[in-house]
């Protein structure tokens, strides 16, 4: 193992809070004590400890047993997990140039640390021997699952390769670690570097809440009294939807869709090409024809063709709906006297006008009823009614930024279950998007270890002294990430590797997307959607119009997602040597599927962090739609019970989906909950696209 070189500036272990037992409530990280210079020596010690633990397993003279091999592996690397969790939380949610520089080094060190472990022949031989004799080992179902998953991880990492293959795989992994970190840093830099300052004459169409958020964003960037649009999605999308200034919409749209694609120091095009070549080479070393084939073998989908079949099934009706909407939007432009062709930066603006006409509804009407605090309370209340959880805010838990809030979570018996951290506001130090992660995972191998779960969002913060008002999309995202959070908080497994969200990528989105359904239920909105000034509940008429408008513009939403998912699949299915230019490949694939020029993909390649800032969703962006088939079908269980909080259905949901982590096969888990496999038509029904599908 190569370790980081010693530095006179690094903190001595006794002074390093990362290497001490934390004397904080629930042994949470003491963020105010942790400085950037603490991380490199902490990682160095963590790597060394883990290497020694692995060596002890390998040289154990006793015949391999589940306890001395698999359980020993589960117990190894605790310090590394602890340090990594804190570090990557800060890098994502509150980065500094110093932390990003450290990340570039740590990414390489991580690869150099894990490569020899995951490709170790002696270690793999012990695991393979246990797997071969699994039937004689009297394993519990969770132990059997863990053994199979452990073998799979080692096998897919290249533990069965010859020495030349292992050496090349190690080189590939190191280079990919560097490239994915570079991709992420470039994207963050482009997002941080750009703002559009608004003058008083630039506000036509913008809501009071947007203007307040633009002032807050300017103040955050050291421009008090100014107003800026940022490249956070929560700033861009409402601007495109409401700004009457077509010239400014074009500026914002182009800046947003060219992040990482500006031929500057942050350009990601060359990184994409190299990533694709290296991923393909690694897959072929392991005997797969493409990276997509390699990636999808270890998923519910299993093959690229199964993914393509699902996406194409949805694409045809979605495109038909989008084209019909496009013609209606063009008609609206003509009706208003416009003599221009609908462009991508016009779609949201005119779609909002069309929605107001067809459904008598616009987002600006409902935003005053969707205050952030009320939607947090709503998410908590749903969890209480489904699973008996209670949430009590704690002010004594250290946090990484003053805006972060923490709640103690207790179960129905009043027993401590978890801590939940909410980091909701956009800021320059935070990467874009929304995600769930953890500082500690639930497990019972070493006592009853309770999780520390994090939700990170990028909501546009309200002006000083004013509440933050959410768009319907922001509110849905809050519920989505909280669904992931519940997957971590409700986890009830023995082994760390199977905890919480440690499941197939195309299953991990089920708990999150399913939870979104409750956000738009009338009985939830009637209770928690209250006007931020009057505290009056959402009027019945507005509620009905909101619910009726939910399926509006679904052709657009589906097209922008499916096009991204199909491009991801093709990037990783076609020979990398045939992709010489990212732009040309993008154009070719979009022309092939008949992509409407008036719609942009949800993620263009150069900013597609899901796929290129690491490989978790590489050839896997389809997962959101695969899970949507299940979530639409799963919510049907509550609808069939005529009670969205039906206790019997909620108990099955808890036991079979939210608490079981990766301890069972996901298809078996779903069937245990629903009584059958999911019905794909539920997705098309949910998006209002089934009629076109049947007519096609």
For the annotated catalytic residues, the residue numbers are 481
What one-character-per-residue DSSP string does 488-507 give?
A: HHS---SSGGGSTT-S-HHH
Distance CA 618, CA 408 (A): 35
Query: For the chain, percent helix, then strand, then coil, each to nearest 5?
Result: 60, 5, 35
- Joined together, the tokens standing for residue 585 give 């490949």
**Which residue do the tokens 């060596």 mark?**
55
Distance CA 337, CA 335 (A): 5
394 φ, ψ (degrees, to nearest 5)? -115, 130
Distance CA 273, CA 583 (A): 11
Distance CA 80, CA 683 (A): 41
Q: Compute CA distances 368 → 252, 362, 375, 519, whole Å.
A: 25, 12, 12, 16
Q: Which helix (H) or strand (E) holds 456?
A: strand 452-459
Q: What residues contact residue 659 under an 8 Å CB cut-off, 6+ apart?
A: 490, 491, 492, 493
Sheet holding 452-459, edge to edge: 390-394, 405-410, 416-425, 452-459, 435-440
**Which residue do the tokens 């190299």 mark?**
274
- 628 and 351 Cβ atoms separated by less than 8 Å: no
Pick from 574, 579, 576, 601: nearest CA to 590:
601
Pick from 531, 598, 590: nearest CA to 562:
590
Distance CA 675, CA 695 (A): 30
Q: Which helix (H) or strand (E) holds 569?
A: helix 554-571
DSSP designation for 10: S
What one-character-per-residue DSSP string does 422-442 give?
A: EEEE--TTS-SS-EEEEEE--
Report CA 577 to chain centroid distance, whole Å.
30
């Amino acid at each position: 193992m190569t370790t980081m070189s010693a530095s006179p500036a690094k903190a001595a272990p006794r002074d390093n809070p990362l290497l001490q037992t934390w004397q904080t409530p629930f042994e949470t990280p003491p963020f105010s004590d942790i400085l950037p210079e603490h991380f490199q020596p902490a990682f160095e010690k963590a790597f060394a400890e883990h290497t020694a633990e692995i060596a002890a397993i390998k040289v154990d003279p006793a015949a391999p047993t589940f306890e001395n091999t698999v359980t020993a592996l589960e117990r190894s690397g605790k310090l590394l997990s602890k340090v990594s969790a804190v570090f990557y939380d800060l890098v994502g949610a509150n980065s500094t140039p110093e932390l990003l520089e450290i990340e570039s080094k740590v990414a390489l060190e991580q690869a150099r640390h894990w490569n020899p472990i995951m490709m170790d022949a002696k270690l793999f031989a012990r695991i393979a021997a246990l797997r071969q004799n699994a039937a004689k080992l009297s394993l519990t179902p969770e132990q059997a699952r863990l053994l199979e998953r452990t073998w799979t991880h080692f096998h897919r990492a290249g533990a069965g390769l010859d020495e030349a293959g292992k050496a090349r795989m190690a080189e590939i992994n190191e280079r990919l670690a560097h490239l994915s970190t570079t991709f992420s840093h470039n994207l963050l830099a482009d997002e941080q570097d750009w703002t559009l300052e608004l003058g008083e004459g630039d506000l036509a169409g913008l809501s009071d809440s947007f203007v307040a958020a633009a002032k807050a964003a300017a103040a955050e960037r050291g421009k008090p009294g100014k107003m800026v649009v940022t490249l956070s999605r929560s700033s861009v999308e409402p601007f495109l939807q409401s700004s009457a200034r077509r010239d400014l919409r074009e500026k914002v749209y182009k800046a947003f869709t060219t992040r990482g694609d500006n031929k500057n120091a942050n350009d990601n095009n060359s990184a994409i090409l190299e990533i694709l070549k290296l991923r393909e080479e690694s897959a072929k070393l392991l005997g797969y024809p493409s990276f997509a084939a390699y990636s999808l073998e270890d998923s519910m989908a299993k093959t690229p063709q199964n993914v393509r079949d699902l996406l194409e099934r949805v694409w045809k009706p979605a495109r038909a709906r989008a084209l019909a909407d496009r013609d209606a939007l063009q008609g609206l432009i003509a009706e208003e006297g416009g003599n221009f062709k609908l462009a991508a930066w016009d779609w949201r603006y005119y779609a909002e006008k069309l929605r107001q006409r067809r459904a008598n509804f616009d987002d600006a009407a409902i935003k005053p009823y969707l205050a952030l605090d009320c939607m947090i309370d709503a998410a908590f209340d749903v969890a209480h009614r489904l699973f008996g959880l209670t949430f009590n805010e704690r002010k004594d838990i250290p946090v990484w930024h003053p805006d972060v809030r923490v709640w103690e979570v207790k179960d129905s018996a009043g027993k401590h279950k978890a801590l939940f951290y909410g980091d909701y506001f956009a800021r320059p130090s935070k990467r874009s998007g929304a995600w769930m992660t953890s500082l500690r995972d639930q497990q019972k191998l070493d006592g009853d270890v309770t999780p520390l779960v994090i939700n990170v969002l990028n909501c546009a913060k309200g002006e000083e002294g004013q509440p933050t008002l959410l768009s319907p999309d922001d509110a849905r995202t809050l519920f989505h990430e909280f669904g992931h959070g519940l997957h971590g908080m409700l986890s009830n497994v023995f082994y760390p590797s199977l905890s919480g969200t440690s499941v197939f990528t195309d299953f991990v989105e089920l708990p999150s997307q399913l939870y979104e359904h409750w956000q738009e239920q009338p009985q939830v909105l009637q209770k928690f959607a209250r006007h931020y000034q009057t505290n009056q509940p959402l009027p019945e008429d507005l509620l009905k119009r909101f619910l009726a408008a939910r399926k509006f513009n679904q052709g657009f939403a589906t097209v922008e997602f499916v096009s991204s998912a199909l491009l991801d699949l093709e990037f990783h299915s076609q020979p990398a040597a045939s992709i010489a230019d990212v732009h040309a490949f993008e154009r070719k694939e979009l022309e092939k599927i008949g992509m409407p020029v008036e719609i942009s993909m949800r993620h263009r390649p150069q900013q597609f962090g899901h796929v290129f800032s690491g490989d978790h969703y590489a050839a896997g962006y389809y997962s959101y739609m695969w899970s949507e088939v299940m979530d639409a079908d799963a919510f049907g269980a509550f609808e069939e019970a005529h009670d969205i909080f039906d206790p019997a259905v909620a108990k099955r949901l808890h036991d079979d989906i939210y608490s079981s982590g990766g301890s069972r096969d996901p298809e078996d888990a779903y069937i245990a909950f629903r009584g059958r496999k999911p019905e794909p038509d539920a997705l098309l029904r949910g998006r209002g696209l089934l009629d076109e599908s049947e007519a096609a």
